[in-house]
Amino acid sequence: MTTKTYAGIPEEHSKLGTANIVLIPVPYDGTSTWQKGADKGPEAFLEASENMELYDIETDSEVYKQGVFLADPITEGESPEAMVEAVHDTVKTYIKRNKFVTVIGGEHSISIGTIRAFNECYDNLTVLHIDAHADLREEYLGSRCNHACALYEASQKTNLVQVGIRSMDKAETYVMNTDKVFFAHEMVEDEFWMDKVIDLLGENVFITFDLDAFDPSILPATGTPEPGGMQWYETLEFLRRVFEEKNVVGFDLMELCPNQNHPSSNFVAAKLYYKMLSYKFLEEEDYGEDDHNYTHHLGDNLKFNKDEDYDN
Ligand SMILES: [Mn+2]
């Protein structure tokens, strides 16, 4: 990758020691079945981020000042299982360092390792899965680490709440808990869907955001676009509420599949990422610039004593 710091931010805000946020790029696209190219997602995302203005009007904040450390990309690609394990190890390492960990993909199977790490570190984890697809197959094309299986493990081991779903296989209906699924065709007719989702979330929430949850009219550059997706402002309103009302412990943005005919998709992903950070650290902004206690809040609900496992 050519980028040295996230969004071209000054080096003083990009150092691991002082950054509250870690961004892990995972340029992996080993099992996608239709349009290939999600492995180019992280680089396109970073390039778009460099061209983004860093003052957020809505929150009146400059969240990059929290510090964003751009981790080395995870390039393990020997097998889907090895990739998932590498992601799991890396994510867990940074969670233990008390960072707010975020991942940019890459195909959705990467999230298996990310979610496993968060679930090991937080009690009663809720996974808020925003996606066009259910991704609940136990196994697909011979692997449990296929993108079509991205949320199966989460469905068994966490409180999984799914939002924006509009494409799935009949077999997935047997795994799916429809009490915790918000189908796109129902959301458009239900003005209270956001309240209902939030009611189902526990205190600790990891958000896995497949960019194909968006309507293809605003984000066409993804591997498997589906009509009838979420719009920009409703997505932001929803996310802001989740960040304000719950302890979001981390998130990932998956399935950006850059297409030179649709470069705006890269900017949508970049802006969404920055918005989510802005919402996460909004509370901190309210405390004023002199209060640097945020790291204290970040580790609040971790299972282990963070000093104990701090190995560096
Ligand atoms: Mn999807």
Which residues 6+ apart lie within 8 Å of 53 measured at CB? none
Pairing mode, if any, of strands 100-105 and 247-254?
parallel
Q: What is the largest CA-CA distance in the chain?
A: 54
Per-residue pLDDT for 279 more than 80? yes
Query: Percent of the chain, pLDDT > 70?
Result: 91
259 confidence band (pLDDT: 50, 70, 90): very high
For ligand 1, an ion, list residues with CB under 5 A. Answer: 131-133, 210, 212
- Nearest 5 degrees, angle CA 257-CA 35-CA 186? 80
Q: How far is the CA of 127 from the centre of ligand 1 (A)?
A: 15
Residue 159 backbone dihedrals phi, psi, to 5 degrees? -85, 95
Query: Could you give the CA distance from residue 203 to residue 245 in angstroms, rounded to a whole number?
Result: 8
Q: How far is the CA of 132 from the centre of ligand 1 (A)?
A: 5
Q: Which domains are assigned to the chain?
A: 6-298 (3.40.800.10)
Q: How far is the CA of 152 from the centre of ligand 1 (A)?
A: 13
Q: Rounded to two decimals, what is the model's pTM?
A: 0.93
| Digit-coded pLDDT (tens) for 63-115 | 999 999 999 999 999 999 999 999 999 999 999 999 999 999 999 999 999 99
Q: How far is the CA of 243 from the centre of ligand 1 (A)?
A: 22
Which residues 6+ apart lie within 8 Å of 7 measured at CB? 46, 49, 50, 52, 54, 64, 68, 270, 274
**β-strand partners of 222:** 256
297 confidence band (pLDDT: 50, 70, 90): low
Q: How far is the CA of 226 from the centre of ligand 1 (A)?
A: 9
Q: How far is the CA of 224 from the centre of ligand 1 (A)?
A: 7
Q: Within 13 Å, how many C-alpha atoms sit on residue 227's CB side?
A: 0
Q: How far is the CA of 222 from the centre of ligand 1 (A)?
A: 9
| Digit-coded pLDDT (tens) for 225-247 | 999 999 999 999 999 999 999 99
Q: How far is the CA of 166 from the centre of ligand 1 (A)?
A: 9
Query: pLDDT: is 304 or 107 the higher one?
Result: 107
Q: How far is the CA of 110 from the centre of ligand 1 (A)?
A: 13
Q: How far is the CA of 212 from the centre of ligand 1 (A)?
A: 5
Q: How far is the CA of 211 from the centre of ligand 1 (A)?
A: 7
